[in-house]
Amino acid sequence: MPQRRADDSPGAGTSGPQPPGRPAGLAPGLVDRYGRRATDMRLSLTDKCNLRCTYCMPAEGLEWLSKQAVMSAEEIVRIVRIGVDMLGVRELRLTGGEPLVRADLLDIISALRLAHPDLPISMTTNAVGLDKKAAGLKTAGLSRINVSLDSLHEETFTQLTRRPFLAKVLAGVDAAWAAGLGPVKLNAVLMRGINDVESPALLAWALDRGYELRFIEQMPLDADHGWTRRNMITAAEIRELLSVDYVLSADPRERDGAPAERFEVRAKVPGSAGATGPVLGTVGIIASVTEPFCSDCRRTRITAEGKIMSCLFSREEVDLLGLLREGASDEQLAERWQDAMWIKPKAHGMDHVGLDAPDFVQPDRSMSAIGG
């Protein structure tokens, strides 16, 4: 069966001859051949995780990287410094796997904060154990937190994550808020027939506490390769599900390259389509599959083993850590990073019809091994 790269797919607009290399003398920064500039860095601290979400990891297995293969704290700090000081990175998101399982997490954040006093540094986490770590993370210099929370029902949570840790997660979210790691953003992936019906209740819970909930369309990045286009819950369906209880209207604030399209939320007048009362808060929908935002993408990703990924669906991984360990200078590392970003695909190609046709080839890495 022929292998098709996600970025070569119909509609992605990247077919044709291989583009020429990055011209010399380009403006500094992480620019690509389509004129986008990456300023938002997602850095994975580990591929390990203590949950096993069905849309991300397999029930069992998935060999962890060795300690030696993963970037050390010093290597992370150097790579971030090159990104910020030489390549125009303006914000940093720490992710994984699960960043909280890294024993030297506080040291990493303290060192990053010392080097970059004004850099927004956020972290995406499943919040297991966050109740005990939130205050320390704040003191170390973490700016803000994103927590993944797909259900408020113990059984559904356990079905989705394959671990009975809902109470720990809820304690973690509250501790993050109390520690001043707000605004707390919550990420929820809806799965058909499992937690999709819960979406208005999840939104009510978040609005009540002042947390900003974002629904993420499920992407074909699960280790089990169970994703199908037909079965995923689309952004249009999410808006429909929420419209049972709420009226959504476009948030007037500029989207500014954010993956989530934000909506203001008002309560619905029972039995009518109209809204009543004040704006209760906002909800975000990240429609990566059906309403992609690739043309305004500002992200550059570094995996836990120091590979540059210009896109979640990129099949080109460029080894930055290997070069660093060979003794490369900052300039050489910056140049390799720029080269890697120059060939960023125009689009991921997930939005074209027939994605779940038999010849679609899902990326080899699961989301946990990339860093979402």
State whether residue 153 is helix, strand or coil: coil
Q: Which two tokens stand for residue 333?
A: 């590392």
CB 368 within 8 A of CB 97: yes
**What does each C-alpha distance from 168 to 131, 165, 178 come to in angstroms?**
8, 5, 15
Q: Closer CB to ligand SAM, residue 98 or residue 264? A: 98
List of E strands, the chain:
30-31, 37-38, 40-44, 91-95, 121-125, 144-148, 185-189, 212-216, 246-250, 261-268, 275-286, 299-302, 307-309, 318-319
Cis-peptide, bond into residue 200, ω within 30° of zero: no
Q: Closer CB to ligand SF4, residue 96 or residue 292? A: 96
> How near is the Cβ of 369 to ligand SF4 at its closest, in Å?
9
Residue 283 — φ and ψ, nearest 5°?
Answer: -135, 145
218 binds, among ligand SF4, ligand SAM, none (CB under 5 to 8 A by kind): ligand SAM
Say how far apart CA 17 and CA 45 lie, in whole Å: 36
Say how far apart CA 327 and CA 194 lie, in whole Å: 50
Q: Which of 92, 175, 181, 221 binds ligand SAM (CB under 6 A)?
A: 221
Say how far apart CA 335 and CA 340 lie, in whole Å: 9
Q: Which of 39, 126, 300, 314 binds ligand SAM (CB under 6 A)?
A: 126
Q: Which of 12, 41, 49, 302 binds ligand SF4 (CB under 6 A)?
A: 49
Which 6-35 positions form the footprint of ligand SAM (CB under 6 A)? none
314 binds, among ligand SF4, ligand SAM, none (CB under 5 to 8 A by kind): none
- Give yes or no for residue 148 binding ligand SF4 (CB under 6 A): yes
> How near is the Cβ of 31 to ligand SF4 at its closest, in Å?
30
Q: Which of 83, 96, 345, 349 binds ligand SAM (CB under 6 A)?
A: 96
Which 52-71 positions form the footprint of ligand SF4 (CB under 6 A)? 52-53, 56-57
Terminal CA-to-CA distance of the chain, rounded, Å?
29
Contact mark string toward ligand SAM, 182..201, x via CB under 6 A: -----x-x------------
Which residue sits closest to ligand SAM, CB atoms considered? Answer: 372
Q: Closer CB to ligand SF4, residue 137 or residue 367? A: 367
Say how far apart CA 256 and CA 258 lie, in whole Å: 6
Binding interface with ligand SAM (CB under 6 A):
49, 55-56, 95-96, 98, 124-126, 148, 187, 189, 216, 218-219, 221-222, 367-368, 372
Residue numbers of the site for ligand SF4 (CB under 6 A)? 49, 51-53, 56-57, 96-98, 126, 148, 367-368
